[in-house]
Structure 1
Amino acid sequence: MSSTDTKRGILLMILTMFIFAVQDGLSRYLAGEYNVLMVVMIRYWFFAAFVLTVSAKRAGSIALVARTRQPVLQAFRGVLLALEICVMVAAFTLLGLIESMAVFISYPLIVAALSGPILGEKVGLYRWAAIGVGFVGVMIILQPSGGVFSPYALIAVTAALLFALYTLLTRYAARKDTAETSFFWTGIAGAVAISLVGIWFWEPMAPRDWLWMLGLCITGASGHYLLIKTYEIAEASAVQPFAYLHLVFVAVIGLLVFNEDLRINVVIGAGLVIAAGIFTLWRARRATA
């Protein structure tokens, strides 16, 4: 792979993380004004339409791309991601963007820790050490023994656990299904599941907020599209460390738009989590080299 492809991949990853941060800011605003389930449901409708369009273009047939030997697993993955998004958006409104994302970025370490028992992968001593350092960082962020600890932080922890499980199940599903098939089931199963629940929480939305909702839908779809393109032109191990810029962009939005505070324990803890995550990626890359 040429260095040009890698550079383009890095630039695309940075742009993707910025778009996802804007999406998170829009989610925080809309979920603060309306029911979380309704906001996520409308977002999923747009996402499902995007998935159908991309699937038809890539595979030439919706029936072909939807074919799977593990429909229960694929459907469960889709429902799990929809649940994770609801939990994370709720964390944004209750805990704030910065601290929610600072906790959430620990999910790659959870994936590394659970890859052994779930996927049968070998986790060496160095990776276990990195996982331990990362979880120390999470504890510093949470400050469970301090007077400033918020029980809402546990919502962000739950979101990280759910997304880690979704990631592991996606890797497991990839043993039998293509990425296109998994992508299809992610969007469609999630849209069906959230619609069955969210439709009961429908409430009128101000005309101005429909524009923000449109922005949320566009950033969600475009972010996923750019992420796909990123992994098409560059190796995942080369661009993945730049995914941590998501936290940086979210922090800027939280500070400037929502007047959130950036506490020193969050900075220190997030720094440890990011360092541990990058080290884990580096060890994984060496192991497959």
Structure 2
Amino acid sequence: MTRNDTRLGVWLMVATTFVFAMQDGISRHLAAEYNVYMVVMIRYWFFAAFVISIARRQAGSVAAAARTSQPLVQGFRAALLTLEIMVMVLAFVYLGLVESHAVFACYPLLIAALSGPVLGEHVGWRRWAAIGVGFVGVIIILQPSGGVFSPYAIIPLIAALMFALYGLLTRYVARKDTAATSFFWTGTVGAVVSTLIGMWFWEPMTAADWGWMALLCVTGATGHYLLIKTYEVAEASAVQPFAYLQLPFASALGLVVFGETLRPNVALGAALIVAAGLFTLARARRKAQG
């Protein structure tokens, strides 16, 4: 049963972004020591078990949760998310948390830009202007003419594009399928795809890192559980702006724990991206209400 408690929803979203930021930090640690594909595979095994238990409770049975009239789209979006996670964790290894999240923060702008051609939604000139400002922020971060441009900076941009497409496809399948069905397909197909890739890259892990892996699995499940609860108690449009808190949370982790640095161009670019994203969310909410 859903209710409308915006204050509780905001706090749940804050908790969700904090947990996901911690998850990113653990992923960065493990992927620096072991193969990225293996780390994501093990994480998905636990996630699939969690998804099946949630889907069974919400839909009544696994068969009911799996039932869909659009299996190809559901399967594709689930596989896309799996690959996006692998790409983003690679970005953590090569770029760190600060710069990866600064670039990745543009994904809501990509969703707004692509919602027209993919979903047939109307995007007005104000939102197009905000999208343009956001991508000026991306260019400032990447510094393509500054002599210090790293090709690795493209990795989180690719991840953002993949995640934006995943978000649009999630909205598309929601026209016919329940959230429980989409969640079920996300976890189960993701486990299959990650296993098909990750099983070729198995490496022995130390006991201490198995502990970190267990914590990674728990934070993944906890984050998604909190996100489900967030959308149960509050409207998505009211809490979505607070999802941007993952950027400062993850950046703080990168600075304090991993000794990363915050370059002025990254701070300025990220500020432009977040401001543009918040504007597009406000415009979308106003349009939905009016």
TM over 0.5: yes
Q: What is the aligned partner in structure 2 of residue 112 from structure 1?
A: 112
Distance 1:69 1:142, change over 3 A: same
Contact 2:141 2:265 in 1 (8 A): yes
Q: Residue 27 of structure 1: SS of its match in structure 2?
A: helix
CA shift for structure 1 position 220: 0.5
Q: Residue 152 of structure 1: SS of its match in structure 2?
A: helix
Alpha-carbon distance in structure 2 between the residues aligned to 1:7 and 1:125: 32
Q: Deviations over 1:220-260 (max 9, x none)?
A: 00000000100110111111111111000011100010000
CA shift for structure 1 position 58: 1.1
Alpha-carbon distance in structure 2 between the residues aligned to 1:180 and 1:268: 39
* Percentage of identical aligned residues: 68
Q: What is the aligned partner in structure 2 of residue 223 from structure 1?
A: 223
Q: How does 1:257-276 map to 2 (within 5 A)?
A: 257-276=257-276
Q: What is the aligned partner in structure 1 of residue 58 from structure 2?
A: 58
Compute the TM-score of the two structures, normalised by the length of structure 1: 0.98
Q: Deviations over 1:94-147 (max 9, x none)?
A: 011100000001000000001001100000000000000000011111111112
Q: How does 1:124-135 map to 2 (within 5 A)?
A: 124-135=124-135
Alpha-carbon distance in structure 2 between the residues aligned to 1:268 and 1:253: 19
Q: What is the aligned partner in structure 1 of residue 70 from structure 2?
A: 70
Compute the TM-score of the two structures, normalised by the length of structure 2: 0.98
Q: How does 1:158-237 map to 2 (within 5 A)?
A: 158-237=158-237
* Runs of 5+ consecutive residues of structure 2 not aligned to the other structure: none
* Runs of 5+ consecutive residues of structure 1 not aligned to the other structure: none
Q: What is the aligned partner in structure 1 of residue 253 from structure 2?
A: 253
Distance 1:2 1:201, change over 3 A: closer
Q: What is the aligned partner in structure 1 of residue 280 from structure 2?
A: 280
How many residue pairs are counted as aligned between the two chains?
A: 288
Amino acid at match of 1:195: T
Amino acid at match of 2:265: N
Alpha-carbon distance in structure 2 between the residues aligned to 1:137 and 1:175: 33
Alpha-carbon distance in structure 2 between the residues aligned to 1:45 and 1:225: 16
CA shift for structure 1 position 2: 8.2
CA shift for structure 1 position 84: 0.1
CA shift for structure 1 position 196: 1.0
Query: What is the root-mean-square deviation in Å for CA atoms of aligned residues?
Result: 1.0
Q: What is the aligned partner in structure 2 of residue 238 from structure 1?
A: 238
Amino acid at match of 1:97: L
Alpha-carbon distance in structure 2 between the residues aligned to 1:6 and 1:14: 12
Q: Residue 123 of structure 1: SS of its match in structure 2?
A: coil
> Are residue 92 (structure 1) and residue 96 (structure 2) matched?
no
CA shift for structure 1 position 155: 0.6
Distance 1:253 1:58, change over 3 A: same
Alpha-carbon distance in structure 1 between the residues aligned to 2:3 and 2:168: 30
Distance 1:183 1:2, change over 3 A: closer
CA shift for structure 1 position 48: 0.1
Alpha-carbon distance in structure 1 between the residues aligned to 2:17 and 2:195: 27
